[in-house]
Structure 1
Amino acid sequence: MALKITPHTLSGGVKVPPSKSLAHRAIICAALARGKSVITNIEYSKDIQATIGAMKSLGTMIFEHEDYLEIDGTTTFMKNQCEINCFESGSTLRFMVPIALICENNLHFIGEGRLGKRPLQVYYDIFEKQGISYLYRENVLDLYVRGRMHGGEFAIPGDVSSQFFSGLLFALPLMDEDSRIVVTSPMQSKGYIDLTLQMLEKFGIQIENHDYQEFIIRGGQQYCPCDYHVEADFSQAAFFLVAGALHNQVDLQDLNIDSYQGDKVVIDLLQQMGCQFGRTVSGDRMICNHLKAIHIDGSQCPDIIPIMALACALSSGTSYINNIGRLRIKECDRLSATVEVINQLGGQAREMEDAMEIYGVKKLQGGHVSSYHDHRMAMMEAIASTVCSRPVIIDDEQCVEKSYPRFWNDFQQLGGVIDECELGE
């Protein structure tokens, strides 16, 4: 089965889901604190369930309620042998590897989908240097690790994934030794590092950030319990902000305009393309009469590139998005998939090794496209349907459960017209 989306203008208000990035971080910090914390505004996407399950595997007591968590980290690390299922969550995997090695441990990491293709060489190099035993299979997440990580000096490239830095920043304050992380190449996705540092500070951990070139971490610190409310997610809001730029009328509720989230840049990018961002009593709205082409450096905001590429596809002129090679190691090869979908829907885009060039058209046609089992591709395709001349058919629509389980309900409440259909129709 697939979803058939009949073109229709979206209109109304939508409560933006809580930030997945901040929820991951809040759950981890609360679990590392010796005491009880309450994390409110939780949505149980598959990625968040993966992090909850991972911390439970390490002995954390987590009580799940409808939209909040009670977390008691008193018993964390009482287990010295466990299996951690990361499902398809790259954040869970890369955060948990150093965290699980704070104490002597015998670990087995497993996962699903393309997660086994995500690079982990940064950690393997640390294992080699520190004498930590490990065994893994290529292209499948089936990783065995035995030992304990120690503090010290770490040289990490900044252009692989900020998740490696976050994982170390969570773990190193609990080591006996002081530590220093040296960034050996320009840091990408600085916004995610900011989110980690902000959350650590809320839970009582102090890190020195020397302009993203090195981080100084004092050992022997303690996490303090903290109640925390998860703010709305700009990476999800981006879909509806772009919908507004494409002449839909969507009011977004609960956005924090002072957020540290890097994906908040979607507002600036759309304004550069000719949009106006307005705040009203019913929410925040993006308005645009005419979109113009733009040049985007995607190194700091990879998650919003597919939906921004859609905006570029309907702008006047030629847009260029570069520094996006890391999109190839997401849930799918998002660089290739985004170009392919734009072309299949009647746009004009060209793929390069680390970039894409998009030639604006006035309207898209529609047709049958794949979700590539990627939540961000499926949601981008749904927004694209609102500016197509004929229906868009999407397979494997359930992939949105990875980050935004109620997306299709929200889409319909805004006026989206959805029907199930047989594949091939």
Structure 2
Amino acid sequence: MAIKITPHQLSGGIAVPPSKSMAHRAIICASLAQGRSVITNIEYSKDIEATIGAMKSLGTMIFEHEDYLEIDGTTTFMKNQCEINCFESGSTLRFMVPIALVCENNLHFTGEGRLGKRPMQVYYDIFDQQGISYLYRENVLDLYVRGRMHGGEFHLPGDVSSQFISGLLFALPLMDEDSRIVMTSPVQSKGYIDLTLQMLDMFGIQIENHDYQEFMIKGGQRYQPCDYRVEADFSQAAFYLVAGALNNQVCLQDLNNESYQGDKVVVDLLCQMGCQYTETTSGMCMQSNGLKAISIDGSQCPDIIPVMALACALSSGTSYIHHIGRLRIKECDRLKATVEVINQLGGQAIEMEDAMEITGVEKLQGGQVSSYHDHRMAMMEAIASTVCLEPVIIDDEQCVEKSYPRFWEDFQQLGGVFDECKLGE
């Protein structure tokens, strides 16, 4: 089965879903704190359920309510042996590995989809240096780890994933020893590190950030309980902001324009393309009388590149999006997939090793495309349907549950028109 979307303009107001990135971090910090914390504005996407399940596997008491969590960090959260299913969440996997090794532990990490294909060598190198035993299978997440991690000096590349850095920043304050993380290459996705440092500070953990070149971490620190409301997600807001840039009439509620989220740059990028970002009684709106081409460095905002590429596909001139090689190791090869989808819908895009070139067209045609089982691709394709001449057919529309379970409900509320169909119809 697939979903067939009939082109229709979107209009209305929408409450932006809570930030998945902030929710991951809040759940982890609250679980490591000595006391009870309440985390509100929770949406139970599959990725967030993975992190909740991981912390429960380590022994944390988490009470799930309709849209908030009570987390009791007063119990001993470490177990001597546990199974952690990360499903398809790269954040859960890379955050949990060092956290679970704060104490002597015997761990088994499992997952689904392409998660086993995503790089883990950064941690394997640390295991080798510290004498931690591990066993894994290629291309499948079936990782066994046995031992305990110690503080000290860590040399990490900054261009693989910021999740490795964040994982260590969560765990190292709990070590007996002081630690130092030294970056061996420029850090990409700095915004995600900022979110980690912000959340750590809220829960009483202090880290010295020396211009993202090194991080100094005092050992023997203790997390303090904290109540926190998860702010709205600019990664998800980006889809609707681009929709506004493409002449849909969508207003977004609950956005924090002072947010540390790196994907907030979507606002600046669209304004550079000729849009106006305004506040109304219904929320924040993005409006445009026509888009112009742009050059985008995607190294700090990889998650918004598919939908920004859509905006470029409807702009006047030729846009260039570069430093996006890391898109190839997401839920799918998003660089390749984005180019394929734009071309299949009637746009003009060229794939390069670390970049894409997009020449704008006035209108997209529509047609059948694949979601690549990737939530961000499916949502980008849904927004694309609003500027197509013919219906857009997408397979595996349920993949949006990874980050935004109510996406189709919200899309329909805004005027999106779709029906289930069989592939090939």
TM-score range, shorter chain: over 0.9
- Paired with 1:202 and 1:101, the residues of 2 have a C-alpha distance of 23
- Matched with 1:369 is 369
For normalisation by structure 1, the TM-score amounts to 1.00
**Preserved CA contact (<8 Å) 2:32 2:77:** no
C-alpha contact 2:27 2:51 (8 A) present in aligned 1: yes
Task: Please give the alpha-carbon distance, in whole angstroms, between the structure 1 residues aligned to 2:371 and 2:424.
Answer: 14
- RMSD of aligned residue pairs (Cα, Å): 0.4
Residues in 2 aligned to 1:74 and 1:81: alpha-carbon distance in whole angstroms: 20
1:132 aligned onto 2:128: no
CA contact (8 A) 2:78 2:100 kept: no
**What does residue 280 of structure 2 align with?**
280
C-alpha separation in 2, matches of 1:378 and 1:282:
27
Q: 1:76 to 1:327 in 2, by over 3 A?
A: farther
Distance 2:224 2:179 in 1: 20
Query: Aligned partner of 2:289: which letter?
Result: N
Counterpart of 2:161 in structure 1 is 161
In structure 2, what is the equivalent of residue 30 of structure 1? 30
Match of 2:119 in 1: 119
Shift of 1:74: 1.7
Displacement of 1:78: 4.1
Task: Give the equivalent residue in structure 1 for 2:144.
Answer: 144
Question: Does the alignment pair 1:192 with 2:185?
Answer: no
Given residue 26 of structure 2, which amino acid in structure 1 is its aligned partner? Answer: A
1:305 and 2:292 matched: no
Residue 334 (1) aligns with residue 320 (2): no
Q: Distance in 1 between matches of 2:80 and 2:204?
A: 26
**Aligned match of 1:88:** 88
Q: What does residue range 15-26 of structure 1 map to in structure 2 within 5 Å?
A: 15-26=15-26
> Would you say the 8 A contact 1:253–1:284 is kept in 2?
yes
Distance 1:409 1:78 in 2: 39
For 2:13 and 2:396, the matched residues in 1 are separated by 26
Contact (CA 8 Å) 2:18, 2:233: kept in 1 or not?
yes
Distance 1:143 1:69 in 2: 29
- What secondary structure does 1:75 align onto? coil
- Runs of 4+ displaced beyond 3 Å: none
> For the residues of structure 2 that align with 1:254 and 1:266, how far apart are their CA atoms?
16
SS in 2 for 1:384: helix
Please report how far the alpha carbon of residue 75 of structure 1 lies from its aligned counterpart in structure 2 after TM superposition.
2.0
Partner of 2:178: 178
Q: What SS is found at the alignment partner of 2:256?
A: coil
Alignment coverage as a number of residue pairs: 425
Q: Shift of residue 205 of structure 1?
A: 0.1
- In the aligned structure 1, how far is the partner of 2:142 from the partner of 2:332? 19
CA–CA distance in structure 2, aligned partners of residues 246 and 76 of structure 1: 52
Q: Distance in 1 between matches of 2:264 and 2:119?
A: 27
- Aligned residue identity for 2:422: E
Instruction: Compute the displacement of 1:77 (Å).
Output: 2.9
Per the alignment, residue 225 of structure 1 pairs with 225
Q: Say if 1:378 and 1:400, in contact at 8 Å, map to a contact too.
A: yes
User: For 2:234 and 2:189, how far apart are their aligned partners in 1?
Assistant: 14
Aligned to 2:393: 393
CA displacement, residues 335-354 of structure 1 (integer Å, 9 cap, x when unaligned): 00000000000000000000
Match of 2:271 in 1: 271
Distance 1:249 1:18 in 2: 21
Q: Which amino acid aligns with 1:180?
A: R
DSSP 3-state at the match of 1:361: coil
1:351 maps to 351
Q: CA deviation at 1:73?
A: 1.3
2:346·2:366 contact (CA, 8 Å) conserved in 1?
A: yes
Separation in structure 1 between the aligned mates of residue 84 and residue 75 of structure 2, nearest angstrom: 17
Contact 2:78 / 2:103 at 8 angstroms: preserved in 1?
Answer: no
Q: Is the 8 A contact 1:18 1:231 kept in 2?
A: yes
Superimposed CA distance per residue, residues 169-201 of structure 1 (whole angstroms, 9 cap, x where no aligned partner): 000000000000000000000000000000000
Partner residue in 2 for 1:403: 403
2:237 is matched with which residue?
237
TM (norm. structure 2) is 1.00
CA contact (8 A) 1:31 1:76 kept: no
Counterpart position of 1:260: 260
Structure 2: state its 5+ residue gaps: none
Paired position in structure 1 for 2:101: 101
Amino acid at match of 2:413: Q
Q: Between the two proteins, what is the percent identity of the paired residues?
A: 87
**Paired letter, 2:97:** V
SS in 2 for 1:98: helix
Question: Residue 32 of structure 1 contacts residue 76 of structure 1 at CA under 8 Å; is this kept in 2?
Answer: no
Partner of 1:378: 378
SS of alignment partner, residue 74 of structure 1:
coil
Report the CA distance between 1:76 and its aligned residue.
3.9
Residue 38 of structure 1 aligns to a residue whose secondary structure is strand
Query: Any idea what SS the aligned residue of 2:186 has?
Result: coil
Q: Indicate conservation of the 8 Å contact 2:173/2:205, yes or no.
A: yes
What amino acid does structure 2 have at the position aligned with 1:187?
A: V
**Structure 2 counterpart of 1:307, one-letter code:** V
User: Matched residue of 1:17: which SS?
Assistant: coil
**Which whole-Å CA distance do the structure 2 matches of 1:80 and 1:16 have between them?**
40
Letter paired with 1:152? G
One-letter code of the match for 2:2? A
The answer (yes or no) to whether the contact 1:42–1:68 under 8 Å persists in 2 is yes
